[in-house]
Amino acid sequence: MTCQPCQRGGFSFLELVASLAAASALVIGMASTLGVALRAADPASTPAANTLAGLNVLAELSSELTYALAITEKTAIAVTATIADRGDADTSSDSVRYSWSGTPGNPLVRQYNSGSPATVVANVHNFSIAYYPATGQAELATVRIQVSANSRTAVETTLPLLNRP
């Protein structure tokens, strides 16, 4: 009687263990590459995040300027407004000032009463305020802000100045 060679129907246990180890090493390498790429991409510097930062500034600024009692400084890169009392120790009206140096990359700052200026948003590349009418008592103010060098992040709004005399 002659013995016929037997045909294999699958992989041996040793071959399965070796392929599993190779596949695991490949997956670990891909995961670490993805981790490095995610850490390199700062989500705070995306156009969407910068646009949102600009919109937040416009919301804060519009809430204070729309109902300002008076605007005492009107320049293209700064505005000072007298606003109703915010419930601090005194009962007199308060003052708020927004200003930008005009240098791209510098912050937009807000000064409340005689306190020190606080950064509202950093890395501003454009901030401008236009008043309508340009002379005399303004009725409208158009505010434009661009956070970061990406021009797609620029946002603009026009505010009615409701409490003008």
pLDDT averaged per 10 residues, the chain (length 165)? 65 85 90 81 74 89 88 92 80 90 94 91 92 84 89 86 71
Rounded to the nearest 10°, the torsion over CA 84, 90, 94, 100 is: -140
The two structure tokens encoding residue 85: 């009392």
pLDDT at residue number 47: 79
Compute the distance between CA of residue 127 and CA of residue 99 in angstroms, rounded to an integer: 9
Compute the distance between CA of residue 54 and CA of residue 60 in angstroms, rounded to an integer: 10
CA 26 to chain centre: 37
